Structures are given as C-alpha cells and as structure tokens.
C-alpha cells in the first residue's frame, strides 16, 4: 500500500473523450481528497474512494473543491492549475491526496504523494500547487 | 359554652407543647442557616482560588498548521 504521484491512466483516456472540463467558467467541479498512508493511489486509480481516506476534525469525506484556472499553453505544452487549497482549522494527518472530478462520476485525475505524513493540529493544512508553467504546472500535456 | 377547668389546663398544655415545637424548629433552622453560610464561604473561597489560578494559566497552545507542496 502506497501513494505514488501520477496522472492517472484513466484520466489520459478520458481527456481524449472530453470527460473533463477545467475551464474556470462552466467547468467541472474538481475536488482534492486526503488519504492516509494505508491508501493505494497511483496511475491505476480510476475514481475517488473513501477507503483509507483521512479523517479528523473539520475534514469532510470527499475533501474540498478546488478553484480552477483556465488551461493555457506555453510553447508546445498545455497546462492548467488550481488555486492553493486550505483545509481550515483541521486536525488531520495525510500521506497523500487525490484530485478527482466530482461532476463526472468522481473520475480520478491525479494522485500525489506527500513524501510522508503531514499533520495539522487545530490549524490550517495548505495544499500548495506548483508554479503554473510548462515545466511545473500540476497538470501538463506536453 | 364555658370551658371547664380541666379543659383550660389541657389547652395551656397544648399551647406550651406548640411553643416547645416552635423553639425546636427555630433551633434547627438556625443550625441549617449556619451550615449554609459556611458552605457559601467555602464556595466563595473556591471561586476565588479558581479565578486566581485561571489568571496564571498560560494561553492555550496555538494550532499547528502544515503546508505541503504537490
């Protein structure tokens, strides 16, 4: 059991089927859910599951909605981004997270390992997304 | 109807008995009042001690936040 950072394989296929819309206006709702070290997440993950999801004060199953940023391009790379996500005043421990499309059957987008347990105790747990450019953006198609 | 002498004596005995009961009740009430005053003083001392203790307690620890880059 482990969490491996990856864009899910199912997502790659679903993008070609127009099952995900990241536009700020009118796009789908994407959520980020936290998971414990007991979870298995990675390229083979196809959908959100509550199994081994983190739990704690002020954290709700399913996680929280992300704020989309319009996809754009740089050179030959297309990418999109999300605003940093803050789980406010939570007491929770997480080892990784899953981004998924809650509008469209909770289809998995990407899994992210934190590299270890991250704990907030009656504080904010902030998920910081990388610089939105062609080499660092959270979701890129090169 | 005039009361007989024996009747008057019985009435006097009853009144004295009633007076004795009232005196006893008064004594008990004074004892109870004394207990309540003592309890109030104890509670006031306890409250004062709690207030003084709460003033020296440190502020609750601030929440521990975390940040993770994905």
B68 touches chain A (CB under 8 A): yes
What token pair was written down for A12?
């790659």
**pLDDT of A139 higher than 90:** yes
Q: What is the pLDDT of residue B62?
A: 75
Question: Looking at this predicted complex, what is its ipTM?
Answer: 0.89
pLDDT value at residue A135: 97
Chain A, residues 102-141, CB within 8 A of chain B, namely 112, 114, 118-130, 138
B54 touches chain A (CB under 8 A): no
Non-local CB neighbours of A125 within 8 Å, separated by 6+ positions: A34, A86, A87, A90, A92, A94, A118, B65, B66, B67, B68
* Percent of chain A's residues with pLDDT above 90: 99
Give the pLDDT mean for B9-20. Answer: 94
Whether the pLDDT of residue B61 is over 90: the answer is no
Q: How far is CA B9 from CA A4, A59, B5, B47, in A?
A: 106, 86, 6, 57
């Amino acid at each position: 059991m482990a969490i491996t950072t990856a864009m899910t394989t199912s997502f790659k296929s679903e993008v070609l089927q127009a099952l995900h819309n990241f536009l700020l206006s009118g796009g789908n709702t994407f959520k980020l859910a936290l998971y414990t070290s007991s979870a298995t997440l990675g390229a083979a993950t196809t959908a959100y599951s509550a199994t081994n999801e983190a739990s704690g004060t002020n954290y709700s199953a399913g996680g929280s909605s992300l704020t989309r940023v319009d996809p754009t391009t740089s050179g030959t790379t297309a990418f999109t981004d999300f605003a940093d996500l803050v789980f406010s005043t939570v007491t929770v421990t997480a080892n990784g997270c899953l981004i998924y499309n809650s509008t469209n059957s909770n289809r998995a987008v990407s899994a992210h390992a934190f590299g270890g347990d991250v704990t907030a105790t009656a504080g904010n747990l902030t998920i910081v997304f990388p610089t939105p450019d062609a080499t660092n953006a959270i979701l890129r198609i090169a | 109807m005039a009361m007989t002498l024996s009747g008057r004596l019985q009435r006097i005995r009853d009144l004295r008995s009633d007076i004795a009961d009232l005196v006893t009740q008064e004594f008990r009430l004074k004892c109870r009042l004394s207990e309540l005053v003592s309890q109030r003083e104890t509670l006031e001392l306890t409250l004062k001690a709690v207030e003084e203790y709460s003033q020296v307690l440190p502020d609750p620890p601030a929440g521990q936040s975390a940040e993770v880059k994905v």
